[in-house]
Structure 1
Amino acid sequence: MSQNKVMGAKVQISKNGPYIVSGDVPLSKEIIGVNASGESIKWEQGQKYPSQEQYALCRCGHSRNKPFCDGSHLKTDFDGTEAANRQSYIDQAKTLRGQNLSLTDVESLCAFARFCDPHGQVWGLVYETDDPLKSRHFVNQTCDCPSGRLVAWDNNTGKPIEPEYEPSIALIEDPSKACSGPAWLRGGVQLIGADGFEYEVRNRMTLCRCGASQNKPFCDGTHVSIGFNDET
């Protein structure tokens, strides 16, 4: 799952403080679009922020200048301890093998974007990937998973099927759940822990912005249950 590092595109986690983003990484918002049944079915482009060579994104959830840090982590005694498993994605993953395609799943990375749910859920669709339509749904739904929890694999080549992204960060908005979501790192941005640990470079990762994840630095979906809103 590891990708080549993108020169200069980096997120440095500061101890109990913000994410320091460097390398002129584009920042925007992406909105989860749903169908009439409330199922997540598409990503919709939202606001684009002006280009900056370096910026600090709020990690504690209390900044009055979200998505950027305003120093509120110091006033709230934010505990940003990184608790996530540091093994590689594939070493943590469970594998479900279908006839044509397979699925790997690292449940702890779930950011509750819910693209996995339509058409009978990906965990069922993987066993029906000999059907062209179901195979297409399966690939689209796994590729829309922002955290990279879910990855589709081609059984013939043994390679993952990944969407193509330029190095960028998208701030997820989830109107159907009336909340703001994580920071979505795309395209192989290097993530570095507060202790200098270099996390595996992946095409898709979601970082906690509400401050309440129990799997920091990664999102665990808590933003939904607490109703996190980056406008407040």
Structure 2
Amino acid sequence: MTSTLSFLLLTLTAYWLGCRLRDRTGGHSLAQPVLVAIVLVGGVLLVTGVDYADYRDGTELVSFWLGPATVALAVPLHRQVRRLRGVALPMLVAIPLGAVVSVVTAYTLVRLCGGGDLLATTMAPKAVTTPVSIALSGQQGGLPQVTAVLTVTAGVLGAVAGPAVLTLARIRDRRARGLALGAVSHGIGTSRALAEDETEGAFAGLSMGLTALATSLLLPVLLVLLR
């Protein structure tokens, strides 16, 4: 298993199996296609002894299409644009505030647990969509590769536990649920929100984009203050 085609086939098959498992379990929180695909692909690579760098190079096509796929999230948002009325101002306040809380808590917790500035900086942008978090980590002196792992982990955890936490908190409004999932678990959370409800998914996509923008603007300032 060393060809680009085999790596692409492995990735798509693993994700397809994840979707089938989600459907067969009635949308169980642990049956997230991304989580299932990570486990399956990781297991195959481990068993076959394939180097991850070779797998990554062989799946560049998938990475390339992440950009257009993200842009395509504007389609469900356009269908729900009328529901933006009355929430635009609260949203523009909540998202930057959420970005501040995310960065400050991530950085501070690492330092309180004995981690250095390098690890704390690497952790700080973990709630932003992966391409942006990697870029921000590199610009601020973090470790982009580790940030990528942390970002995917945050996305998976948010997609698995986020809806249940929101339900326990008695947050029923689909717009609010979508905004929360998009802000803390970016693309993976957005895919979960889309599976739950179109309105929820549309607002999750909007939140993901605005959170990335807010964090990009605020992170350099916040790190100066925290350091």
TM above 0.5, yes or no, is: no
The TM-score, its normalising length taken from structure 2, stands at 0.29
More strand by share: 1
**Larger relative contact order, structure 1 or 2 (CA cutoff 8 Å, min sep 6):** 1
More helix by share: 2
